[in-house]
């Protein structure tokens, strides 16, 4: 179980029923944030609250967005070469998602930067595939990660490594 903290524009388009956020997500990555990008085609930018790792997927059809998130996360984590065991664990824990309002301004600020940078990349290089664009954005240094691993891709790698170490310890 996890929460998707959506911006008002995303919540309205998805016709989402807003609930209280999940305080203890069952996913290793925790909760996610999402917003609409008014590109052609319209897209949704997700950013993981813990690592800031971005995921992009088409908005349409908006009412099925929550059900499509696990597959988009799987594809992006796979392209990043995250451990298969981690990906499968994460995706299976994402079966139950809950819509919530945004609460973390730092994550919203990072998403705003990602949306501007993503738009510039698309204008310069032409429309790129959403997974490739998410991977490019994941390498961008983020101020709130400077005291840890600097960029979302490195923060994700550290989170996956810690998860693998914890799982290995459980098996002993």
Question: Global pTM?
Answer: 0.93
Structural domain containing residue 88: 2-171
Distance CA 53, CA 13 (A): 23
* pLDDT attached to residue 73: 98
pLDDT value, residue 52: 96
Q: What is the pLDDT of residue 172?
A: 64
Positions in the chain short of pLDDT 70: 172
Tell me what pLDDT residue 141 has: 93
CATH of the domain at 116: 3.30.420
Q: Output the pLDDT for position 168.
A: 86
Phi, psi of 58 (to 5 degrees): -65, 145
d(C-alpha 125, C-alpha 165), whole Å: 39
Q: What angle (nearest 5°) sits at the alpha carbon of residue 42, between those of residues 140 and 134?
A: 20
Mind listing the pLDDT tens digit for each residue in 151-162? 999 999 999 999
Residue ranges of E strands in 77-168 = 97-101
Counted domains in the chain? 1
Element (H, E) at 79: helix 65-79
Give the residue ranges of DSSP H helices in 15-64. none
């Amino acid at each position: 179980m996890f929460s998707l903290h959506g911006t008002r524009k995303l919540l309205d388009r998805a016709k989402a029923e807003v609930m209280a956020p999940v305080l203890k997500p069952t996913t290793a990555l925790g909760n996610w944030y999402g917003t609409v990008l008014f590109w052609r085609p319209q897209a949704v930018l997700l950013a993981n609250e813990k690592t800031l790792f971005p995921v992009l997927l088409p908005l349409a059809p908006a009412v099925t967005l929550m059900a499509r998130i696990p597959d988009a996360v799987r594809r992006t984590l796979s392209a990043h070469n995250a451990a298969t065991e981690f990906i499968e664990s994460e995706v299976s824990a994402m079966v139950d998602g809950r819509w919530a309002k945004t609460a973390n301004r730092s994550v919203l600020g990072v998403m705003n930067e990602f949306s501007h940078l993503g738009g510039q990349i698309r204008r310069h290089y032409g429309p790129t595939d959403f997974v490739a664009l998410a991977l490019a954005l994941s390498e961008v240094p983020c101020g709130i990660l400077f005291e840890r691993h600097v960029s979302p891709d490195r923060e994700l790698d550290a989170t996956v490594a810690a998860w693998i170490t914890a799982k290995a310890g459980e098996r002993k």
